Amino acid sequence: MSSSSSSRRRRVGRGGRLGRNPLAVTEPSAAEETRAWAELPLDAILSVLDYLDHVDILMGPGQVCRSWRSAARDEPDLWRRIDMLGHAELLNELNLHGMAQEAVRRSAGRCEAFWGEYAGDDDFLLYLGDQAPSLKSLRLISCDDVSDEGFTEAIQKFPLLEELELSLCPYVGESGVFGVVGKACPQLKRFRLHRDGFYYLDTRDYDMDQEALGIATMHELRSLQLSGNRVTNKGLEAILDNCHHLESLDIRRCFNVNMDDTLRAKCVRISSLRLPKELNW
């Protein structure tokens, strides 16, 4: 082997220009990383934020830098459909009612859907009614601070509502509130009413079909899910006789319903039917 070739390898091995590793990566400094995030275009920032739910956005990304704060705060389309589900563990740590109100404020009147778990009381619903006149979907889960009175007043502010869920909201359902929903929301197509459990009651002073008779005024329903409701055959027949577009009916754990021949005949047109004793899965 020639001496010139050996000398060349030694120069490379000593770290000369010819010996630098072309794959070596220089770690960016903290300042460079911050600047890189801050300089992302708005579309890229919004794409990242779209992967987060709205509780996460309210708690974190807005603190990254000015451009991220602006995107999280001043882009109404980011808040068009607000999802605050799945954060029950934060109930005693954060003011979820206040966060819900802030989320709606950021929508700048464009909110079309609000889904809240432990995030909503009477005052919030009235605020939502004033700020979201185009609301089409409202899902309230475990909202113990929503009452019949507050809900009845607020629901009349949502004439375009197409979807409504009230799951584990123990203080909504009396005083003919669902009849009010039927009149105030003529475009309602999907309604879910989920109770915590089924209870056998002394019926002498209680109309177990009160809720069902209110639901029967929701004439455009396509999908109805009742769970743990005290509805009887009378109430269910009223629903079937008045909700002519109904395609999906779920009455699991509605143990006062006896699927006799009359009810089965009325349910023939229902394409998806779940019966009282079917398992919840």
Among 118, 106, 110, 96, CA closest to 62: 106
What count of other Cβ atoms lies within 10 Å of the Cβ of residue 94? 16
Q: Look at residue 254 in the predicted model and tell me its pLDDT.
A: 93
281 Cβ neighbours under 8 A, 6+ residues apart: none
Residue ranges of the chain with per-residue pLDDT less than 50? 1-26, 30-32, 34, 202, 204
In this structure, the dihedral spanned by the alpha carbons of residues 159, 162, 168 and 173, taken in order and rounded to 10 degrees, is 50
Q: Look at residue 47 in the predicted model and tell me its pLDDT.
A: 76
Q: Look at residue 46 in the predicted model and tell me its pLDDT.
A: 74
Q: Look at residue 156 in the predicted model and tell me its pLDDT.
A: 98
Q: Look at residue 27 in the predicted model and tell me its pLDDT.
A: 53
Q: Look at residue 141 in the predicted model and tell me its pLDDT.
A: 96
- Rg, the chain, Cα only: 28
Task: State the average pLDDT for the chain.
Answer: 84
- Helix, strand, or coil here: 165? strand
